[in-house]
A and B are shown apart, each in its own frame.
Chain A
Amino acid sequence: MSILLNNRTRLMIQGLGNEGQNQIRRSLDYGTTVVAGVHPGFRGGDSFSHGNHSFPVFPTVAQAVEQTQANCCIIYVPAPGAADAILENIAAEIPLIVCITEGVPVHDMIRVRTALAGSKSRLIGPNCPGIIQPASKCRVGIHPPDVFMPGNVGVVSRSGTLVYEAVDQLTRAGIGQSTCVGVGGDPIIGEQQQAILRRFNSDPDTDAVVLIGEIGGLAEQAAAAYIKRSMNKPVVAFIAGATAPPGRRMGHAGAIIEGEAGTAEAKIAALEAAGAVISRSPAEIGSTMRRVLEEAGKYQPPGASA
């Protein structure tokens, strides 16, 4: 048991451009089961090979699913076509869609969210690093694999590079990870932090969660409300952007300060009141989690069975 991915995940990749090819090679090297590619007019022909691995490439998602029973799709399609790719996966009833693409127009995402409602699909992203699950060697994303280690702490973050930063600190502190999810930095995304927290809460492989938020939007307040209401595992939280000047956009389209609710202080106050342990410094996420796990009697030194 674990969240979103497991050792029965059959990954398909949509968008085999240079970046998609580089990333899928690294996932294959990591040990991920990749069963299909989707790329209309793929120049490499009807299959993709890397070392001992190879998988067929199809022009449409529907064909790929029919012939390979893929149950998860990672999308590297460039921004103008990304929403169309997501819609194609929703139409093919792919249970889990992960979209890495940055720069998807917000009106396209309004259409995607409408199509997701009542569908059989779940979406992570866009503008995200994807999902990685060290124990099942499942890398559905763009993560640097070396910093990850199997263990009992879940990570959920809006920012990609902050997933790596937090995980690097956890691993150095001797804390492995169950599943790490980057939900994405855009104003409209698929699953938000709160939904991922709910998954971790009922996941027997996860004993505690690192939550990384940032200024802008109200997602952290929703996460705080969920923590207060239902979370029965410790949460260590960091909010990026406490020192950002108000009114300026800091890269992530979602990180605009909208009145008081969007500030780091408001988010930290909500999370603190909900019982989360706040790491004020981004450099202390690992040490804070170590302390929290030890206090809860849940610290598993590396090498112990995960």
Chain B
Amino acid sequence: MNIHEYQAKQLFKARGVPVPDGGAATTEREARALLKEHGPDVVIKAQVHAGGRGKGRVVKRDRASRTYNDLRREPERHEGQIVGRRRGGVRLASGVEEALKEFRPLMDKDSRLVSVQTGADGVPISAVLIEKQTSIAREYYFSIQVDGANGQPLIVASAEGGQSIEEVNRTNPGAVLRVPVDPVEGFPAFRGRSLANQLGLPSSAIRQAGDMFANLYRVFSEMDASLVEVNPFVLTSEGTVMAIDGKVGLDDNASFRHGGYEAWRDRSQENPTEIEAEEANIGSYIKLDGNIGCVVNGAGLAMATMDTLKLHGGEPANFLDIGTVNRKDRVIEALRIIVNDPDVKTIFINIFGGLARVDIVAEGVVDAVNELNIQQPLVVRLNGSNVEEGRRVLHDSGIAVETADELGDAAALAVEAANSGRRRSRSNN
């Protein structure tokens, strides 16, 4: 789960990581107060979860899709202008009136921030972070993430900050430092000072930088974070260090230790259908561009089902891992989400029961067809635990479904049904 930059900076500040003076505003009154306190020269930053904010644009909702296509077509035209682009999500301003002129379109209810990472609808802007401008001598990169292969935290740092670290890694891999963290020791300040030294920070800033790195590690471990990234942290012209940006990813699996992370969640940044799926306890749902609605158990099989559809010339409308089905209402909820997607022309149910019981899935399918008045053709492939009972339930119900035992055959049926554009017949008898 991602959180906003202003929230990341609250976590930083609470643990002694230096951040610019400032705060978040959602109303003009709040903005005015912040500007009086921290002005006249300020940075104004739209708060959204999507990346590519600085190179994106803030537009009216009805222009989002066209802007998205423009950005995707000519990304190079928009490179290298992180700050200062008047229509982007990060702006500089001087004085209260000029700053409010930049602030207003960002907080307009009808505005969307569009970047190459947001999708065609763009994302609403949840708040605006207003901060005192910092006078920068040099920009650096710092992050803590989980190295799955070694099962340890990994710190990545570079003296080439303020740009994409992937890009630095490609063009100048020697400039990217990797420091594995011993989880028992953690990342004490002396390790931080050693890293600061390696990054070539001036000796007057080494102690402060060492503390900052150690405190960022505290954010990582105390918050159960999967990522803490500061790009850039800077050496100011006064010779101190400061986190200018901040990105924190929290581990959803650890939310039980943090009150569900409720204080940090922003549902307006999430896809409404994906929230609905989560509330129905469905493992995972992601909207895609095609027309075949998929209901599958297991993330691996769900991906493989999409791959098979594509190999047969079809396009999945979604990724849906229904999780372990031991109650038929979960099948009904999953199908409700699929049926409500206007793009779906065919429904493909592919369940290989292990923990999940196929007969319960079949009962759910029958109930859903009757309850939801499903119009689209329905292709069902069942296998695994209690498969014989499952197939019997489907057959005895008399509902119109096309079935196949093998994945390839079933995918071919689904693609054929989607391309024919036909509706579901009323029964198979």
Q: Which residues of A contact B (CB under 8 A)?
A: 19, 23, 79-80, 103-114, 129, 142-144, 146-147, 157-162, 164-165, 168-169, 172, 185-189, 192, 212, 214-215, 217-219, 222, 238, 240-245, 247-255, 259, 280-284
Judge whether A251 and B148 touch: CB under 8 Å: no
Q: Which residues of A contact B298 (CB under 8 A)?
A: 159-162, 251
Q: Which of A114, A144, A238, A248 contacts B385 (CB 8 A)?
A: A144
Q: A215 and B297 in contact (CB under 8 A), knowing A105-B254, A253-B253? A: no
Judge whether B148 and A188 touch: CB under 8 Å: yes
Could you list 12 A-B pairs, sorted by A, with CB under 8 Å?
Answer: A19-B355, A105-B257, A106-B146, A114-B151, A159-B301, A161-B297, A161-B300, A164-B383, A169-B406, A240-B301, A240-B303, A250-B319
Interface hit among B171-179, B206-214, B280-288, B330-338:
B280-288
Name which of A158, A161, A253 has the most chain B CB atoms within 10 A of its CB.
A161
Q: Which residues of B contact A215 (CB under 8 A)?
A: 303
Judge whether A107 and B221 touch: CB under 8 Å: yes
Closest to A161 in B: B298
Closest 7 pairs (CB-CB, A-B): A159-B300, A251-B299, A161-B298, A113-B151, A283-B408, A161-B301, A105-B254
**Given pairs A105-B254, A219-B148, 17 additional interface contacts (CB within 8 A):** A107-B221, A110-B146, A113-B150, A144-B383, A157-B300, A161-B298, A165-B383, A168-B384, A169-B406, A212-B300, A214-B299, A240-B304, A251-B284, A259-B166, A281-B408, A283-B407, A283-B411
Q: How long is the Cα–Cα vector from A112 to B224 in the complex, in angstroms?
A: 15
Interface string of B167-197 (1 = CB under 8 A from A): 0000000000000000110000000000000
Q: How long is the Cα–Cα vector from A250 to B318 in the complex, in angstroms?
A: 11
Q: Which residues of A contact B148 (CB under 8 A)?
A: 186-189, 217-219, 254
Judge whether B304 and A282 touch: CB under 8 Å: yes
Q: A252 and B224 in contact (CB under 8 A), knowing A106-B253, A259-B166? A: no
Judge whether A240 and B300 touch: CB under 8 Å: yes
Q: A219 and B149 in contact (CB under 8 A), knowing A106-B226, A111-B183, A244-B303? A: yes
Q: How long is the Cα–Cα vector from A287 to B353 in the complex, in angstroms?
A: 22
Q: Which residues of A contact B407 (CB under 8 A)?
A: 165, 282-283
Q: Which residues of B contact A103 (CB under 8 A)?
A: 253
Q: Which residues of B contact A (CB under 8 A)?
A: 117, 146, 148-153, 166, 183-184, 221, 224, 226, 251, 253-254, 256-257, 283-284, 286, 288, 296-308, 310-311, 316, 319, 321, 352-355, 383-385, 387, 406-408, 411
Q: Which residues of A contact B299 (CB under 8 A)?
A: 159, 185, 214, 250-252, 255
Q: Which residues of B contact A129 (CB under 8 A)?
A: 354
Judge whether A188 and B151 touch: CB under 8 Å: yes
Q: Which residues of B contact A107 (CB under 8 A)?
A: 221, 224, 251, 254
Q: Which residues of B contact A244 (CB under 8 A)?
A: 303, 306, 319
Distance between A218 CB and nearest chain B CB, rounded to angstroms: 6
Q: Which of B117, B151, B221, B310 contacts A247 (CB 8 A)?
A: B117
Q: Which residues of B contact A165 (CB under 8 A)?
A: 301, 304, 352, 383, 407
Judge whether B152 and A281 touch: CB under 8 Å: no
Judge whether B149 and A281 touch: CB under 8 Å: no
Q: How long is the Cα–Cα vector from A254 to B221 in the complex, in angstroms?
A: 19
Distance between B285 CB and nearest chain A CB, rounded to angstroms: 9
Q: A282 and B253 in contact (CB under 8 A), knowing A114-B184, A159-B298, A250-B284? A: no
Q: Which residues of B contact A105 (CB under 8 A)?
A: 224, 251, 253-254, 257
